[in-house]
C-alpha cells in the first residue's frame, strides 16, 4: 500500500521538488507507477479538499489542483515517486463555487437528531401465598418490569467522494471494523465528545469515483428513570440508575444469606455496563478520510 509523506522546505530533495507558496510536494513510496502515486496523494489526509485555505498561505483558497510526477527515486520494492501538486488560488473567494457532488473532491456534512428507545428494567414486589406448616403464608416475590422512553441525540452524516481504482471499496469499508465503535472526533465537531460510528454506505458515481456516506450519533445518556406510577407500593420497587452515554442496563437477582432467620433473601440489582468498544481514533483511517477533510485548516 503506498505511503505518502509531505516534503517540507529545506529537506534534501531536488530543487524542483521543494514546495513553494503555490505548490506542495509529496514523497510516495510503495507505489508501482505514477498513476498509483497520484491516486495515493489525492486520497491522502495531507491533501485538503478544494475550497479549503491554501496550506502555505491561509489567506488564499484552493480552487483547482493539478498533479504531476516530477521524478522517480529508487528501484524494485524501494521504488518511490515525487508527486508535485500545483494550485490555482483565489484570495478573495468571491467567485468560489461549491464543488459539484460528482467531483472527486466533494465533501459535505449535515447534523440532525436521532431518537432511540431505551428500555430500563425495574423490579417490584408481587404478593404470593404459599403453604407453610399446614397453613397458608402470605409473602412476596420479585417480579421484573420494563420502562420504555426515548432519548434524542445528535447525528452527524458526512458524504465524501473517494477515488477508488483497482480495489474493492466495500471490502475495504468492512475491513476497517469500526461499525458501532465509539470515536472521539477532533476539532470542528463537539470536542472531547463520544460518537458512535454507525457505519458507511457507498455507491459508484463515475468510473473511478465512489460516494461514501459515513454516519455517527451522540448518545446524551439519561437520568435515573422515575418509579412507575401505576404500581401501588412504590417503596417496594427497585428502579434503574442514571445511564451515561452509550451504556446499557443489566439486571439480576442475588441470593443473600439472611442472618436473622438463617434463610435466604433475594436482592434484585439493576446496573449499567458498556456494551461498545471505544477506539478513540478509529475515524482516522475511514475511506475518504471524512473527518480530516472536514476539519482541514
Q: Report the 3 state secondary structure along 93-115.
A: CCCCCCCCCCCCCCEEEEEEEEE
Specify the range with the lowest mean pLDDT, choosing from 102-111, 121-130, 150-159, 240-249.
Answer: 102-111
Residue 89 confidence (pLDDT)? 54
Q: How far apart are CA 186 and CA 169, in angstroms?
A: 25
Q: Is the pLDDT of residue 167 over 70?
A: no
Alpha-carbon distance of 48 to 292, in angstroms, equals: 8
Residues 69-120 have pLDDT tens digits of 655 565 555 567 777 776 655 544 333 334 556 676 778 888 888 889 999 9
Cβ(121)–Cβ(149) below 8 Å: no
What is the end-to-end Cα distance of the chain in Å, rounded? 27
- Of 187, 220, 188, 183, nearest in space to 198 by CA: 183
pLDDT in tens, 19-41: 455 567 778 887 766 667 777 87
Residues 272 and 191 placed together within one structural domain of the fold: yes
Last residue within a domain, chosen from 97, 126, 147: 97
Does the pTM surpass 0.85? The reply is no
Least-confidence region, from 219-223, 277-281, 284-288: 284-288
Is pLDDT above 70 for 208? yes
pLDDT at 253 over 60: yes
- Report the chain's mean pLDDT, rounded to a whole number: 75
Name the domain boundary from 97, 116, 134. 97
The range of the structural domain enclosing residue 193 comes to 99-297
If one counts every other C-beta atom within 10 angstroms of the C-beta of residue 59, the result is 10
Element (H, E) at 20: none
Q: pLDDT tens-digit profile of 212-248?
A: 899 999 999 999 998 887 665 556 788 999 999 999 9
**Are 156 and 249 within one domain?**
yes
Q: State whether 114 and 80 are in the same domain.
A: no
* 111 in the same domain as 93: no
Amino acid at each position: 500500500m503506498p505511503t505518502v509523506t509531505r516534503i517540507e522546505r529545506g529537506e534534501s530533495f531536488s530543487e524542483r521538488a521543494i514546495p513553494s507558496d503555490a505548490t506542495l510536494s509529496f514523497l510516495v513510496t510503495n507505489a508501482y507507477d505514477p498513476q498509483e502515486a497520484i491516486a495515493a496523494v489525492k486520497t491522502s489526509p495531507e491533501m485538503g479538499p478544494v475550497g479549503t485555505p491554501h496550506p502555505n498561505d491561509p489567506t488564499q483558497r484552493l480552487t483547482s489542483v493539478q498533479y504531476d510526477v516530477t521524478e522517480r527515486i529508487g528501484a524494485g520494492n524501494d521504488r518511490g515517486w515525487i508527486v508535485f501538486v500545483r494550485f490555482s488560488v483565489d484570495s478573495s473567494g468571491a467567485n468560489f463555487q461549491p464543488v459539484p457532488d460528482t467531483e472527486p473532491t466533494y465533501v459535505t456534512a449535515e447534523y440532525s437528531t436521532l431518537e432511540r428507545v431505551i428500555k430500563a428494567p425495574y423490579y417490584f414486589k408481587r404478593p404470593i401465598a404459599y403453604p407453610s406448616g399446614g397453613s397458608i403464608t402470605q409473602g412476596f416475590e420479585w417480579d421484573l418490569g420494563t420502562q420504555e422512553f426515548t432519548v434524542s441525540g445528535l447525528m452527524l452524516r458526512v458524504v465524501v467522494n473517494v477515488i477508488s481504482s483497482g480495489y474493492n471499496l466495500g471490502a475495504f469499508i468492512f475491513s476497517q471494523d469500526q461499525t458501532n465503535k465509539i470515536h472521539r472526533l477532533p476539532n470542528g465537531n463537539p470536542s472531547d465528545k463520544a460518537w458512535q460510528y454507525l457505519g458507511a454506505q457507498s455507491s459508484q458515481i463515475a468510473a473511478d469515483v465512489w460516494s461514501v456516506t459515513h454516519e455517527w450519533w451522540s448518545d446524551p445518556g439519561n437520568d435515573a428513570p422515575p418509579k412507575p406510577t401505576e404500581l401501588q407500593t412504590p417503596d417496594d420497587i427497585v428502579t434503574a440508575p442514571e445511564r451515561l452515554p452509550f451504556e446499557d442496563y443489566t439486571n439480576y437477582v442475588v441470593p443473600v444469606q439472611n442472618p436473622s432467620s438463617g434463610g435466604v433473601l433475594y436482592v434484585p440489582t439493576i446496573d449499567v455496563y458498556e456494551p461498545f468498544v471505544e477506539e478513540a481514533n478509529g475515524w482516522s483511517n475511514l475511506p475518504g478520510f471524512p473527518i480530516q477533510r472536514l476539519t482541514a485548516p
